[in-house]
Amino acid sequence: MGVSKSVYKHLNEERISMQPRQELDSIVVTAEQMANIEERLFAAGMPVAALMEKAALMMSQRIQQLYPLKIASKVGILVGPGHNGGDALVIARELHLQGYEVGLYRPLAKLKELPQKHARYADSLGIPYYDDVESLQNCQLIIDGLFGFGLTRSLSGNLAMEVDRLNEWSTPVVSIDIPSGLHTDTGEVLGTAVQATHSLCLGLWKPAYFQDQALAYMGEAERIDFGIPLREVWSIISQPVPLQLLTETLALEFLPLSRPQVTHKYQQGHLLVICGSRRYAGGTILTALGAQGSGVGMLSVAVPESLKPLLVSKIPDGLIIDCPESEKGAIASLPPLATDFDSYDIIACGPGLTRDGIDVVAKVLKAECPIVLDADALNILAQLGTGKCLRQRQGTTVLTPHLGEFKRLFPDIDNPEKDRIGAAKRAASQSGAIILLKGARTIIANPQGKIWIIPQSTPALARGGSGDVLTGLIGGLLAQNLRIQHPLDAMVATAAWWHAKAGMLAAQERTELGVNAGTLCQYLHLIF
């Protein structure tokens, strides 16, 4: 069902040896892990003041690149009581020295020792500070240095009102490390939160940057690498990396799949797609097109018999299997050619099947090869009992729900939208399946606790049929991968990255409104 840690360790060690600093681009750490890494730095002799100075200087330089003096000469800076406030005060000093007109908002008079020293020096430079955020309303840029990672208490009282007032302005806001008011791990809004235009994540990525509920507060996000030694990261982060972004660098290590000079179609994977109904014929075509786009060697498509002529015309290189059809136009049963599961490397099932496909899904669940379930197959699985059905399976199962389907599959996981990463991890552990939780940031979890995150996507994919394309792409990629034997969850994540990348390219050329599922398929091969 899973992949051995030794396989992951080999892959990770190989990548680290080739591109040590670049590897940090893909690592995501919790608030606790980041705190532990920083404690190791301090224990090793790195002065807190030196680390603050280095990180803040780098942020100051980046802010000046984003907002040059001629564009934003008046800057308001929100200063919190802790090290985030200290970073803000160093930035204030540097911007002041570069000629910016800087004003400080310090809602909490009591600062920690190091920020207090920076505050005294800012006073000596004549940088004014104010007790209310309204005094900064005429500024052309706001820098949010109220709270960094690790915040767990809600913003309340006068401070919350001041943040809400700030959010009503049209002034651009740059947040230090994470917008103040967001939970670092879940992305939950703690009472209220700063809505940033730009967020500068310090050191390593934090989970909130990839939680759907926090994205509206992040703005444009980038990571500031202030030079954490790799050994300190690996001393805290276990191998394989438990929470990881599938960056383009990593994805292109898996794609395109290499092929030997001497090969044939059945050595490049044989995928069986079971989907469609008279009412939802389009889902079948789109799933098959997604599979074709993967480059799979052989594609078989089982559909209701009335759809066979349509599929033959649209997918001429596929083997179209006509199935007995119910009065409602759904697959009534699978013929022998579609139940000889040993003939296939992977089975993908679900799009357009309708709820009448319960017998079909029950049969597919008995297959020993890996299966990918989507759409109606997921709803049927929930009806049959997710845990009961999946505990009986021998092969790998991949589930690809959106949030609504996820809730039906795993009703005991409360409010998964509040922590999509944690919810996917728990579902994978419970079910023994690889879970792909769709969203603005797609999450992939395996039963051993490994999480992949697709760091970018586009609203252009919020169109009917986009998920059908993804199902076919996953199935086709997994079918080919059985020869190469990359970790299956990594390949599921790679398919999701490929799908998102194609959508982004299509949106760039055609605008977000101009991308439908059929158009998406035309861009799958243009990303290489």
| 440 assigned ligand-binding residue | yes
> What does the alpha-carbon distance between residue 518 and residue 524 come to, in Å, rounded to a whole number?
11
Task: Please report, to the nearest 10 degrees, the dihedral formed by the alpha carbons of residues 445, 446, 448, 453 taken in order.
Answer: -30
144 labelled binding-site residue: yes
Helix (H) / strand (E) containing 92: helix 83-97
List per-residue pLDDT tens for the chain, 528 residues long: 444 444 445 444 444 444 567 889 999 999 999 999 999 999 999 999 999 999 999 999 999 999 999 999 999 999 999 999 999 999 999 999 999 999 999 987 789 999 999 999 999 999 999 989 999 999 999 999 999 999 999 999 999 999 999 999 999 999 999 999 999 999 999 999 999 999 999 999 999 999 999 999 999 999 999 999 999 999 999 888 999 999 999 999 888 777 778 788 877 899 999 999 999 999 999 999 999 999 999 999 999 999 999 999 999 999 999 999 999 999 999 999 999 999 999 999 999 999 999 999 999 999 999 999 999 999 999 999 999 999 999 899 999 999 999 999 999 999 999 999 999 999 999 999 999 999 999 999 999 999 999 999 999 999 999 999 999 999 999 999 887 889 999 999 999 999 999 999 999 999 999 999 999 999 999 988
Q: Is 287 annotated as a binding residue?
A: no
Confirm if 244 and 425 have CB atoms less than 8 A apart: no
Q: Residue 472 annotated as binding?
A: no
Amino acid 15: pLDDT: 45
Residue 148 annotated as part of some ligand binding site: yes
Where in the sequence of the chain do the CATH 3.40.1190.20 domains occur? 249-410+418-522
Out of 3.40.605.10, 3.40.50.2000, 3.40.1190.20, 3.20.20.70, the CATH code matching 249-410+418-522 is 3.40.1190.20
Residue carrying structure tokens 């995501």: 28
pLDDT at residue 266 in the model:
77
Distance (Å, whole) CA 320 – CA 310: 10
- According to the model, what pLDDT value does residue 10 have? 45
Per-residue pLDDT tens digits for 258-281? 777 878 887 789 999 999 999 999
| HEC letters along 187-222 | CCECCCCCCCCEEEEECCECHHHHCHHHHHHHCEEE
Query: What is the C-alpha end-to-end distance of the chain, expressed in Å?
Result: 31
Where along the chain do the CATH 3.40.50.10260 domains lie?
28-236
Which residues lie closer than 8 Å to 18 by C-beta, 6 or more apart? none
Name the 3-class secondary structure at 271: strand
Is 87 known to sit in a ligand binding site? yes
pLDDT of res. 107:
87
Any binding-site annotation on 86? yes
Q: What dihedral angle (degrees, nearest 10) is formed by the CA atoms of 93, 96, 100, 102?
A: 70
Is the CATH number 2.80.10.50 carried by domain 28-236?
no
pLDDT (0 to 100) of residue 239: 80
The CA distance from 456 to 458, in Å, is 7
pLDDT of amino acid 70: 95
499 is in an annotated binding site: no
- The pTM (predicted TM-score) of the whole model is 0.93
- To the question of whether residue 177 is assigned a binding role by annotation, the answer is yes
Q: What pLDDT does 20 receive?
A: 64
CA atoms lying within 13 Å on the CB side of residue 182: 33
**pLDDT tens digits, residue range 362-406?**
999 999 999 999 999 999 999 999 999 999 998 999 999 999 999
CA distance 120 to 235: 37
12 annotated as a binding-site residue: no
Question: Is 85 marked as binding a ligand?
Answer: yes
CA-closest candidate to residue 150, choices 114, 179, 185, 200: 185
Q: In what order do the strands lie in the sheet with 346-349?
A: 243-245, 451-453, 443-445, 434-437, 397-399, 371-373, 346-349, 270-274, 298-304, 319-323
Check the annotation: does 438 bind a ligand.
Answer: yes
Residue 152 counted as an annotated binding residue:
yes
Gap between the Cα atoms of 30 and 17, Å rounded: 24
Residue 124 amino acid letter: S
The answer to whether 84 is a known ligand-binding residue is yes
Neighbours of 401 (CB within 10 A): 26
Residue for token digits 């398929």? 521
Q: What share of the chain is helix, strand, coil (3-state, %, to 5)?
A: 50, 15, 35
Token pair belonging to 283: 């889902």
Lookup: tokens for 316:
């001429």
Note the pLDDT of residue 399.
98
